[in-house]
Amino acid sequence: MSLRILAILNHKGGVGKTTTCFNLACIYAAQELRILVIDLDAQSHLSVSLGLKQADLSGIDDVFLEQADIVDYIQPVRPNLDLLPAGYRLGEVERLAAQGRRQALVLDTALQNIKHNYDLILIDCPPTSGLLNFNALFAATEVVIPVSSDFLALHGLSQLLRTLHSAQRFMHKPLKSWIVLTRFTTRRRLSNQVRDKLIKYFPQQLLATVIRENAPLAECPSFAKAIFEYSRRSNGAKDYADLADDILYQRVVG
> So what's the pLDDT on residue 50?
95
Closest to 48 measured CA to CA, from 85, 90, 94: 85
CB 234 within 8 A of CB 214: yes
* pTM of the predicted structure, to 2 decimals: 0.94
> So what's the pLDDT on residue 168?
85
| Three-state SS sequence of the chain | CCCEEEEECCCCCCCCHHHHHHHHHHHHHHCCCCEEEEECCCCCHHHHHCCCCCCCCCCHHHHHHCCCCHHHHCEEEECCEEEECCCCCHHHHHHHHHHCHHHHHHHHHHHCCCHHHCCEEEEECCCCCCHHHHHHHHHCCEEEEEEECCHHHHHHHHHHHHHHHHHHHHHCCCCEEEEEEECECCCCHHHHHHHHHHHHHCCCCEECCCCECCHHHHHHHHHCCCHHHHCCCCHHHHHHHHHHHHHHHCCECC
> So what's the pLDDT on residue 100?
62
- Structural domains of the chain, ranges and CATH numbers in brackets: 4-249 (3.40.50.300)
> So what's the pLDDT on residue 95?
83
118 CA to centre of own chain: 16
> So what's the pLDDT on residue 208?
96
> So what's the pLDDT on residue 167?
82
CB 40 within 8 A of CB 124: yes
Bridge partners of residue 177, in order along the sequence:
143
Residues lower than pLDDT 50 in the chain:
none
Residue type, 78: R
> So what's the pLDDT on residue 3?
94
CB 157 within 8 A of CB 200: no
> So what's the pLDDT on residue 98?
62
148 CA to centre of own chain: 14
pLDDT in tens, 132-152: 999 999 999 999 999 998 877
pLDDT in tens, 226-254: 999 999 999 999 999 999 999 999 999 97
d(C-alpha 117, C-alpha 95), whole Å: 31
- 75-78 and 81-84 as β-strands: parallel, antiparallel, unpaired? antiparallel
pLDDT in tens, 85-100: 999 999 999 887 666 6
Separation of first and last alpha carbons in the chain: 25
